[in-house]
Amino acid sequence: MKVLITGGSRGIGKAIANRFEASGYVVVAPSRSEMDLSDATSVKRYIEKNKDEYFEVIVNNAGINDINLLEDITDDEIQRTMQINLIAPIMLLRGFVGKMKEFRYGRIINIGSIWAVVSKDGRCIYSATKNGIHGVTNTLAVELAPYNILVNTVCPGFTLTELTRKNNSPEAISEISKEIPMCRMAEPEEIAEVVFFLGDEKNTYLTGQKITVDGGFSGK
């Protein structure tokens, strides 16, 4: 089986790619030079080039998160965040879902965020896109269920990626971890395990759900 993963070169995306590969899936993770999600023309070109491919699994993982208070958000940030986090995933699903319907099998996982579950200042546009992607999940879960295509959202909480380590001191990570009931951040592999189950053949009925993987943070 073949899985298409965006943002598969690092962090959670890389862990997802590794998990599928470990179970024998053929992983396709386009680089930015192959498909620039910030450029609708580039996305269309990638779809056209690969229009005959049948991806049994699609994971919309790539995303950006520019943190700014409302008055400081630029038009460019709005457009770019919407394009990468919401518009490009919809374009990819529109472009490749036909084969899933033809073969009456597909698994789609959209990666959301804890900030689509709880609120924090400076994340207005990011939260809007992540709530939007779950709206896509909800609608497509109903629309595509007759074709045996299951669609779910996974919302990771604080995750100990390379970027997290780069942007936060060990002391800062320790302080954040104290706010999590599990008293630690997630490992990328823990998020990947949830995504893998949703994308695997063993998932035969779970669809239309927003699954939050945050160590209990959003339940406080």
Q: Could you give the CA distance from residue 70 to residue 75 in angstroms, rounded to a whole number?
A: 11
Q: Could you give the CA distance from residue 45 to residue 61 in angstroms, rounded to a whole number?
A: 19
- Name all domains of the chain by residue range, CATH numbers in brackets: 2-157+188-219 (3.40.50.720)
What confidence tens digit (pLDDT) does each residue in 111-160 have? 999 998 898 888 899 999 999 999 999 999 999 999 999 999 999 999 99
Sign of CA dihedral 80, 82, 84, 87: negative
φ, ψ of residue 201 to 5 degrees: the values are: -60, -25
Task: Write down the pLDDT at residue 66.
Answer: 86
What confidence tens digit (pLDDT) does each residue in 13-72 have? 999 999 999 999 999 999 999 999 999 999 999 999 999 999 999 999 999 988 889 999
Sign of CA dihedral 89, 90, 93, 95: negative
Predicted confidence band of residue 188 (pLDDT cuts 50, 70, 90): very high
Question: Maximum CA pair distance of the chain?
Answer: 52
Task: Return the higher-pLDDT residue of 51 and 162.
Answer: 51
Continuous H helices in 40-123: 40-49, 75-82, 88-103
Predicted confidence band of residue 166 (pLDDT cuts 50, 70, 90): confident
Mean pLDDT of 91-107: 99
Task: Write down the pLDDT at residue 220.
Answer: 79
31: Cα within 13 Å, side-chain hemisphere:
2
Structure tokens at 158: 């604080």
126 is catalytic: yes
Residue 175: helix, strand or coil by DSSP?
A: helix
167 pLDDT more than 80: no
96 pLDDT more than 80: yes
Residue 52: helix, strand or coil by DSSP?
A: coil
Q: Which of 105, 126, 147, 205 is catalytic?
A: 126
Residue with tokens 């529109």: 94
Do residues 124 and 74 touch, judged by C-beta distance below 8 A? no
Task: Return the higher-pLDDT residue of 92 and 118.
Answer: 92
Task: Write down the pLDDT at residue 164.
Answer: 87
Q: How is the chain split among helix, strand and coil, in percent rounded to 5?
A: 50, 15, 35
Task: Write down the pLDDT at residue 202.
Answer: 98
Q: Could you give the CA distance from residue 199 to residue 144 in angstroms, rounded to a whole number?
A: 15
Task: Return the higher-pLDDT residue of 21 and 165.
Answer: 21
